[in-house]
Amino acid sequence: MQPYADKICYIVGAMSLTPDLRPYPHSGDYVIAADRGFDSLEAYGVPPDLAVGDFDSLGHRPSHPNVIQLPVEKDDTDMLFAMRKGMELGYRRFILLGGVGGRLEHTLCNLQLLDWLACQGGQGFLAGEKTVATCIRDGKRITFPASMSGYLSLFCNSGTAQGVTLQGLKYPLERYTLSGALPIGVSNQFLGEDASVSVEQGSLLLIWEDRGDFYATLPKLWAI
């Protein structure tokens, strides 16, 4: 077992300041500032353990004892590099704050990175702009508590997602095959009861509304 597999690695990018979504690290958790996320963490009064990035958005190299400055021209985004560092340290649970909204290509990139984490045996939650997203694949199941309300949308990341089963939602499914070419999983609804989503083979992206209860519901949502 990885040494920090049950702890959380927070990666914070540039984000609108929201008290509900500030990091709340506990002993053994790790906080990484990705580029302008350093400003966000300073505003929250949460010191990062590590700052990474090319710092083109921040505009300067941060004054911090643990900084990895990346070249502007590189293959990995700042967020992906931060994820790799977290994985190297043994973390498998990630909370990614910021990285939603702004430039569309960066939002799409960060959504894809949720699948990258799932392929590495981890799980990430991308939260920001009143939205939360995660990814499950290949035999994983996620359970939502009865307190959840609003909409839940499902997308096949690519190819097909086979054996998709939805329970406790307005529109249930039983071992259905979703295709990445046809988005028919949009705007399902929670019913005020425990709900679950599972997939036998392939990758599912799940997106739902954050109604201020992200941290309260998080303990039930870890699928690993």
C-alpha separations of 108 from 105, 169, 184, 208 in Å: 5, 26, 19, 16
Kind and range of the H or E run holding 115 = helix 104-119
Which residues, 6+ apart, have CB-to-CB distance to 135 below 8 Å? 114, 115, 117, 118, 123, 124, 157, 203, 204, 205, 206
How many C-beta neighbours within 10 Å does residue 60 have?
7
* Three-state secondary-structure class, residue 3: coil
Query: For the purposes of burial, counting CB atoms within 10 Å of the CB of 138, is it exposed (0-12), middle (13-18) or buried (19 or more)?
Result: middle
Q: For residue range 121-168, what is the model confidence (pLDDT) as tens digits? A: 999 999 988 899 999 999 999 999 999 999 999 999 888 999 999 999
Cα-to-chain-centroid distance, residue 16 = 16
**Could you list the pLDDT tens digit for every one of the 224 residues in the chain?**
567 878 999 999 888 777 788 899 999 999 999 988 899 999 999 999 999 988 887 778 878 889 888 878 788 888 999 999 999 999 999 999 987 877 788 888 899 999 999 999 999 999 988 899 999 999 999 999 999 999 999 999 888 999 999 999 999 999 999 998 888 899 999 999 999 999 999 999 999 999 888 898 888 889 86
Instruction: Quote the pTM value.
Output: 0.92
Q: For residue range 148-160, what is the model confidence (pLDDT) as tens digits? A: 999 999 999 888 9
Q: Which domains does the chain have, with CATH numbers?
A: 4-129 (3.40.50.10240), 141-203 (no CATH)
Task: Report the DSSP beta bridge partners of residue 160.
Answer: 179
Which residues, 6+ apart, have CB-to-CB distance to 89 below 8 Å? 4, 9, 30
Instruction: List own/partner pairs for 40-48 with CB under 8 A and 24 or more apart.
Output: 40/12, 40/13, 40/14, 40/15, 40/97, 40/98, 41/12, 43/17, 44/17, 46/22, 48/12
